[in-house]
């Protein structure tokens, strides 16, 4: 098979880091054209730096990293240091990056890459708030029809919310951007909390990362150790949910996931439910389907894939 060409749009974030490492470890299935950073879990100055730290951890200083939007379209930035720590990558001690940040703006890189490749051959993988993607769609509406697929982590239906009672973090931070993306007519696949809360790093799964005995295995074990404190304390879950790696795992093994092709719209006006992904899971409206909304994953298969691939780095 030919590797899928992708752009990873990200706000690292320990789980973003693991998602990126999984992609870089899987060249047969995934060709990473570039990484675009966005403000989210932590401010942009840290997310663009963290993206480069992760590339260097994987010895992939050839991957171009771009900085994008430093704030949501219409709102002040909300961050999540309470989950990810002050740096966004708390856990391991990783060296400051020496590889450069690219001069171009992330939004221009997204637009130019989609225009430079044949239509339907570049997949976008947003792992954070959708500000960069929405800005690109607004600036260059022609790119919507050129996108092969947008596979994103965000939203929830049965799990409802994690940053507010009604909303998942990525969508909540920039609901106007999410609204633009979900109305774009590009093919969309969503990894909501309903799926990612099943991708839990239990103790044996964490031990398996550490047992790789490599710098990557050790770093991933320490990142998920750190990340898990929050979820264990807050939700009493069995381990840290690896939200973002669901996106890159889907590109390698879509058979690990099941979902429904349904209508998904974004709440942008209510203060109470701002950023809610209103997903018509039960088909109670006749609004047209615009996204494949995942509902379940094979968690053991997911972690087997992840551990096997990380061992390659
Ligand atoms: Ca993220």
Q: Read off the pLDDT of residues 91-112 as tens digits, 9 standing for 90 and up.
A: 999 999 999 999 999 999 999 9
Give the mean pLDDT of 2-30. 97
Burial of 245 (0-12, 13-18, 19+ CB in 10 A): buried
Bin 188: left if φ > 0, else alpha if -120 < ψ < 50, else beta.
beta
For the chain, report the end-to-end CA distance as a whole number of angstroms: 21
What tens digit of pLDDT does each residue of 36-89 get?
Answer: 999 999 999 999 999 999 999 999 999 999 999 999 999 999 999 999 999 999
Rounded distance, CA 193 to CA 198, Å?
A: 8
Annotated active-site residue in 82, 84, 117, 243: 243
| 55-69 pLDDT tens trace | 999 999 999 999 999
Percent of the chain with pLDDT strictly greater than 70: 99
Contact, 110 vs 227, CB < 8 A?
Answer: no
What pLDDT does 40 receive?
A: 98
228 pLDDT tier (thresholds 50, 70, 90) = confident
- In 3D space, the residue among 197, 179, 181, 186 whose CA is nearest the CA of residue 269 turns out to be 179
User: Rounded to the nearest whole angstrom, what is the distance from the C-alpha of residue 41 to the centroid of ligand 1?
Assistant: 7
Residue 243 annotated to the active site? yes
pLDDT at 27 over 90: yes
Strand 257-262 with 291-297, pairing: antiparallel
pLDDT number for residue 229: 76
Question: How much is the pLDDT for 227?
Answer: 81
CB atoms near residue 69 (< 10 Å): 26
Q: Mean pLDDT for the chain?
A: 96
User: DSSP string of 171-226?
Assistant: HHH-HHHHHHHHTS-S-EEEE-HHHHTT-EE-HHHHHHHHTT-SHHHHHHHHHHHH
pLDDT of residue 238: 77
pLDDT of res. 305: 98
Q: What is the distance in A from the centroid of ligand 1 to the CA of 146?
A: 24
Q: How far is the CA of 38 from the centre of ligand 1 (A)?
A: 9
Mean pLDDT of 186-213: 96
In terms of DSSP bridges, do strands 65-67 and 122-126 run parallel, antiparallel, or are they unpaired? unpaired
Query: Which residue reads 């990484």 in tokens?
Result: 35
């Amino acid at each position: 098979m030919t590797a899928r060409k992708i752009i990873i749009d990200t706000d690292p974030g320990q789980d973003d880091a693991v998602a990126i490492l999984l992609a870089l470890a899987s060249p047969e299935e995934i060709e990473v054209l570039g990484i675009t950073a966005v403000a989210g879990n932590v401010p942009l100055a840290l997310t663009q730096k963290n993206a480069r730290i992760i590339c260097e951890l994987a010895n992939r200083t050839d991957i171009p990293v771009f900085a994008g939007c430093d704030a949501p379209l219409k709102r002040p930035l909300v961050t999540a240091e309470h989950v990810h720590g002050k740096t966004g990558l708390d856990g391991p001690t990783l060296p400051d990056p020496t590889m450069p940040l690219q001069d171009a703006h992330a939004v221009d890189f997204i637009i130019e890459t989609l225009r430079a490749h044949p239509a339907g051959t570049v997949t976008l993988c947003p792992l954070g708030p959708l500000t960069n993607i929405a800005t690109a769609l607004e600036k260059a509406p022609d790119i919507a029809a050129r996108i092969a697929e947008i596979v994103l982590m965000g939203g929830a239906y049965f799990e409802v919310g994690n940053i507010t009672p009604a909303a998942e973090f990525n969508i909540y931070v920039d609901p106007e951007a999410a609204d633009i993306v979900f109305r774009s007519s590009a093919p969309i696949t969503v990894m909501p909390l309903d799926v990612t809360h099943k991708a839990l790093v239990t103790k044996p799964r964490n031990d398996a990362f550490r047992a790789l005995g490599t710098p990557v295995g050790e770093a991933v074990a320490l990142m998920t150790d750190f990340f898990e404190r929050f979820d264990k304390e807050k939700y009493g879950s069995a381990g840290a949910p690896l939200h973002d790696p669901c996106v890159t795992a889907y590109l390698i093994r879509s058979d690990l996931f099941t979902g429904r092709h349904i209508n998904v719209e974004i709440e942008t006006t209510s203060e109470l439910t701002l950023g809610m992904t209103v997903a018509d899971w039960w088909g109670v409206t006749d609004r047209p389907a615009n996204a494949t909304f995942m509902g379940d994953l094979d968690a053991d298969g997911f972690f087997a894939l992840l551990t096997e691939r990380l061992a390659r780095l």
